[in-house]
Amino acid sequence: MLQEKLIDKHDKILVGVSGGVDSTVLLYLIKKITAEFKLTSLAAHINYNLRGEESKENQQFVKDMCYKWGIPLIIHNVTISDTSNIENTARKIRYSTFNDLLRKYDFTKIAVGHNMNDQAETFLLHLFRGSGFTGLRGMLPKRRNIIRPLLRFKREEIISFAERNKIPFSYDSSNDDLRYDRNKIRHRIIPTIQQDFNPAVINKIYESAHIFQKTDTFLQNHSNDIFREVVTHNDDDEYIVLLNRLRNSEVLYFYLFRKIFGLLTGSESDFYTAHLSEIYELLKRPGGKYITLPQNVYVVKSADTLIFRTSPPNYEPTDHSRTIRRYTRKILFDDHYIMLSEIKVLPIHGFNFDEDTTCYVDFEKVVFPLKARYRNPGDSFTPLGMQDPKKLKNFFIDEKVPRLHRKKKIIIEDQNRIIWVAGMRIDDHVKITSRTTHVLRIKLMKKLVGYRRARRI
């Protein structure tokens, strides 16, 4: 632990202690260097109450050992209700509890007793699940505030050290329970590989994991650069991947999509190569479709984009609308203000026709009242510069508007026709010409969330 600089002077270390040989040896070693490094240590024991009386005896063993060694101990008793994946549930509870204690007592690091055998088991578990390079890198000696000082040592070495130094430890019978995937790898798969292929498989996997750690770091950095180029994040908490900018690299696709998945769910751990394959299949399908990933992440194909979101896509248009009368100055339509103003003298040189949120139309060609609404099936208009009507659906397709965004495009219409597809194009029939003397300006402004009017003092 000193060679890898996992511990610094004056560290405040929370040590996870199960009572097994790894955690008790770890606690013993931290106790040995406490004075030299001026450490503050606290032991934490999680009792999952899965083994009845044995769990109670194990808890008492840890309590007695910490008392004898003069190390303060916190015991956390929990009951696991979700038994579909006890290993994963216990891991989440464990690290959630450790992080809560870290914040509560202002500690700097969490020390856990994983060893080289654990690394090999984790490597194979991730390999079988298809978790990519990040999974094959295994556990890191240090990741954020978690340190694993015993990762360089095999389980046999740790047991031998405990016996030579008369360090007590307890035995967890659940480590022999073959209902758990890790135990199947520990007691069946690895012994078979050692016997039939390579006795040093533990060391070889450890070395391979170290190489994958460097590979993963390189790919992570490279994919972060690409993320900034091809991904946008909108107000609806959607991440939009611009496919025409995406480079053709399957490895980087995996990192990119998994990063987005992690941003939406808080963890990248449930995204595997199988999910990448599902996204590939989605890209091959014609039209706009979607798939559902774990934790209710929806991936929607829409034109030249992929949209990642946490709510199911809704393609149905809404019939919500607001009437706008001639002398209306401002109305609120959903989360936008629509503002009207009349200009009777035509300073055409002063109009900013390139401003997406504003349009200028010939007032005399508009029939009030107007209506603000969303699109309806069969909508059509004559886009500025064209002579013939065009289906709004085809207009959106040509302009590469993602399918999910089409239903949120605001439409302004008068009594005869659509006069403005807001933010995009006016109808050619209401355009300003050299004969225009009276202009209607329509402006769209996003409502500010949390805005409050200043009070007069």
Model pLDDT for residues 290-333, shown as the tens digit of each residue:
899 999 999 998 778 899 999 888 766 566 888 998 888 888 88
pLDDT of amino acid 453: 40
pLDDT of amino acid 455: 36
pLDDT of amino acid 297: 93
Please tell me the distance from the alpha carbon of residue 299 to that of residue 264, in angstroms, as a whole number. 12
Tell which of 261, 287, 309 closes a domain.
Answer: 309
Question: Contact, 443 vs 357, CB < 8 A?
Answer: yes
In a domain, residue 348? The reply is yes
Which amino acid, one-letter code, is at 249? S
pLDDT of amino acid 272: 87
In a domain, residue 149? The reply is yes
370, 348: one domain: yes
Tell which of 259, 274, 309 closes a domain.
Answer: 309
In a domain, residue 7? The reply is no
Please tell me the distance from the alpha carbon of residue 59 to that of residue 450, in angstroms, as a whole number. 50
Q: Which residues lie closer than 8 Å to 301 by C-beta, 6 or more apart?
A: 282, 283, 285, 287, 288, 289, 290
328, 304: one domain: no
Cα 281 to Cα 243, 263, 289: the distances in Å are: 15, 23, 10
Angle between helices 250-265 and 201-230 (to 10 degrees): 80
In a domain, residue 226? The reply is no
Please list the pLDDT of the chain residue by residue as tens digits (457 residues). 555 689 999 999 999 999 999 999 999 999 999 999 999 999 999 999 888 899 999 999 999 999 999 999 999 999 887 777 788 888 889 999 999 999 999 999 999 999 999 999 999 999 998 877 888 999 999 988 999 999 999 999 999 999 999 999 998 888 888 888 999 999 999 999 999 999 999 999 999 999 999 998 998 888 898 899 999 988 668 899 988 888 777 778 889 999 999 999 988 888 988 899 899 888 887 766 889 999 999 999 877 889 999 988 876 656 688 899 888 888 888 888 899 998 876 665 557 677 889 999 999 999 999 999 999 889 999 999 999 999 999 999 899 888 778 888 999 999 999 999 999 999 999 999 888 889 999 999 987 644 444 333 3
| Phi, psi angles (nearest 5°) of residue 9 | -60, 145
In a domain, residue 176? The reply is yes
pLDDT of amino acid 293: 92
Tell which of 281, 309, 337 closes a domain.
Answer: 309
Looking up residue 50, the CATH number of its domain turns out to be 3.40.50.620
**pTM of the prediction?**
0.64
In a domain, residue 2? The reply is no
Question: Contact, 44 vs 98, CB < 8 A?
Answer: yes
Please tell me the distance from the alpha carbon of residue 173 to that of residue 177, in angstroms, as a whole number. 7
268, 337: one domain: no
249, 194: one domain: no
272, 345: one domain: no
Token match 């959607």: residue? 238
Please tell me the distance from the alpha carbon of residue 206 to that of residue 151, in angstroms, as a whole number. 9
Q: What is the pLDDT of residues 108-127, one digit of tens each?
A: 999 999 999 999 999 999 99
pLDDT of amino acid 246: 80
73, 156: one domain: yes
Token match 């050299």: residue? 434
In a domain, residue 1? The reply is no
pLDDT of amino acid 452: 40
pLDDT of amino acid 76: 94
Please tell me the distance from the alpha carbon of residue 147 to that of residue 232, in angstroms, as a whole number. 35
159, 188: one domain: yes
438, 381: one domain: yes
3-state secondary structure the chain: CCCCCCCCCCCEEEEECCCCHHHHHHHHHHHHHHHHHCCEEEEEEEECCCCCHHHHHHHHHHHHHHHHHCCCEEEEECCCCCCCCHHHHHHHHHHHHHHHHHHHCCCCEEECCCCHHHHHHHHHHHHHHCCHHHHHCCCCCEECCEECCCCCCCHHHHHHHHHHCCCCCCCCHHHHCCCCHHHHHHHHHHHHHHHHCCCCHHHHHHHHHHHHHHHHHHHHHHHHHHHHHHEEECCCCCEEEEHHHCCCCHHHHHHHHHHHHHHHHCCCCCCCHHHHHHHHHHHHCCCCCEEEEHHHEEEEEECCEEEEECCCCCCCCCCCEEEECCCCCEEEECCEEEEEEEECCCCHHHCCCCCCCEEEEEHHHCCCCEEEECCCCCCEECECCCCCCEEHHHHHHHCCCCHHHHCCCCEEECCCCEEEECCCEEEHHHCCCCCCCCEEEEEEEECCCCCCCCCCC
Q: Which of 444, 453, 136, 403 is nearest to 290 (CA)?
A: 403
251, 352: one domain: no
Q: Which of 107, 350, 335 is nearest to 235 (CA)?
A: 335
166, 131: one domain: yes
Please tell me the distance from the alpha carbon of residue 117 to that of residue 174, in angstroms, as a whole number. 17
pLDDT of amino acid 311: 85
Which amino acid, one-letter code, is at 205? I
Q: Which of 423, 409, 396 is nearest to 288 (CA)?
A: 396
Please tell me the distance from the alpha carbon of residue 359 to that of residue 420, in angstroms, as a whole number. 8
368, 326: one domain: yes
In a domain, residue 262? The reply is yes
Query: What is the domain count for the chain?
Result: 3
Question: Which residue range forms the structural domain that includes residue 433?
Answer: 321-446
Please tell me the distance from the alpha carbon of residue 236 to that of residue 227, in angstroms, as a whole number. 19
33, 134: one domain: yes
Looking up residue 351, the CATH number of its domain turns out to be 3.50.40.10
